[in-house]
Amino acid sequence: MILDLDRKMKMKVNISDYMIEAVLLIKCSNRQWGLVVYLLKFLNETKRNYEINNKKMLAVIRGLEN
Protein backbone atom coordinates (compact mmCIF):
# COMPACT_ATOMS: atom_id res chain seq x y z
CA MET A 1 0.00 0.00 0.00
CA ILE A 2 1.27 3.45 -0.92
CA LEU A 3 0.63 6.01 1.79
CA ASP A 4 -1.49 8.89 0.46
CA LEU A 5 -1.09 11.82 2.85
CA ASP A 6 -4.21 13.51 1.44
CA ARG A 7 -6.46 10.78 2.86
CA LYS A 8 -7.85 10.78 6.38
CA MET A 9 -5.79 8.91 8.93
CA LYS A 10 -6.32 7.92 12.52
CA MET A 11 -4.22 6.31 15.18
CA LYS A 12 -5.49 4.10 17.95
CA VAL A 13 -3.33 3.35 20.98
CA ASN A 14 -3.66 0.81 23.73
CA ILE A 15 -1.46 0.84 26.78
CA SER A 16 -0.93 -1.25 29.86
CA ASP A 17 1.63 -1.40 32.62
CA TYR A 18 3.91 -3.56 30.47
CA MET A 19 3.33 -2.68 26.82
CA ILE A 20 2.18 -0.11 24.30
CA GLU A 21 0.27 -0.83 21.12
CA ALA A 22 -0.31 1.60 18.25
CA VAL A 23 -2.29 1.13 15.05
CA LEU A 24 -2.18 3.70 12.23
CA LEU A 25 -5.13 3.45 9.83
CA ILE A 26 -5.92 5.23 6.56
CA LYS A 27 -9.32 5.77 4.93
CA CYS A 28 -9.47 3.71 1.72
CA SER A 29 -11.49 4.44 -1.40
CA ASN A 30 -14.03 1.78 -0.37
CA ARG A 31 -14.75 3.79 2.82
CA GLN A 32 -13.11 1.21 5.05
CA TRP A 33 -10.03 1.77 7.18
CA GLY A 34 -6.81 0.10 6.00
CA LEU A 35 -3.88 -0.79 8.20
CA VAL A 36 -0.68 1.21 7.64
CA VAL A 37 1.35 0.42 10.77
CA TYR A 38 0.91 -1.95 13.69
CA LEU A 39 3.30 -1.60 16.61
CA LEU A 40 3.58 -3.62 19.80
CA LYS A 41 6.40 -2.82 22.19
CA PHE A 42 7.08 -4.07 25.66
CA LEU A 43 8.19 -1.42 28.12
CA ASN A 44 11.45 -1.58 30.01
CA GLU A 45 11.51 -1.07 33.76
CA THR A 46 12.02 2.70 33.51
CA LYS A 47 9.16 3.27 31.06
CA ARG A 48 6.79 1.14 33.15
CA ASN A 49 6.94 3.91 35.74
CA TYR A 50 5.75 6.61 33.30
CA GLU A 51 2.47 8.35 34.04
CA ILE A 52 -0.47 7.14 31.93
CA ASN A 53 -0.50 10.21 29.64
CA ASN A 54 3.22 9.85 28.98
CA LYS A 55 2.70 6.20 28.00
CA LYS A 56 -0.04 7.27 25.57
CA MET A 57 2.22 9.89 24.02
CA LEU A 58 5.04 7.35 23.76
CA ALA A 59 2.70 5.00 21.87
CA VAL A 60 1.71 7.78 19.43
CA ILE A 61 5.32 8.84 18.85
CA ARG A 62 6.58 5.29 18.31
CA GLY A 63 3.65 4.53 15.97
CA LEU A 64 4.37 7.60 13.84
CA GLU A 65 8.10 6.84 13.78
CA ASN A 66 7.42 3.39 12.38
| 32-56 tens-digit pLDDT | 999 888 999 999 999 999 999 999 9
Q: What percent of the chain has pLDDT over 70?
A: 97
Report the percent of the chain where pLDDT is more than 90: 55
DSSP 8-state code for residue 61: H
Consecutive H or E run containing 31: none
Per-residue pLDDT, 50: 92
pLDDT band at 31, cuts 50/70/90? confident
Whether the CB-CB separation of 18 and 65 falls below 8 Å is answered with: no
Sign of CA dihedral 25, 10, 3, 36: negative
Domains and CATH numbers, the chain: 9-65 (3.10.20.370)
Q: What is the mean pLDDT of residues 17-31?
A: 90
Angle made by CA atoms 6, 13, 27, in degrees to the nearest 5 = 25
Query: In this structure, are residues 23 and 63 in contact, taking their beta carbons and an 8 Å threshold?
Result: yes
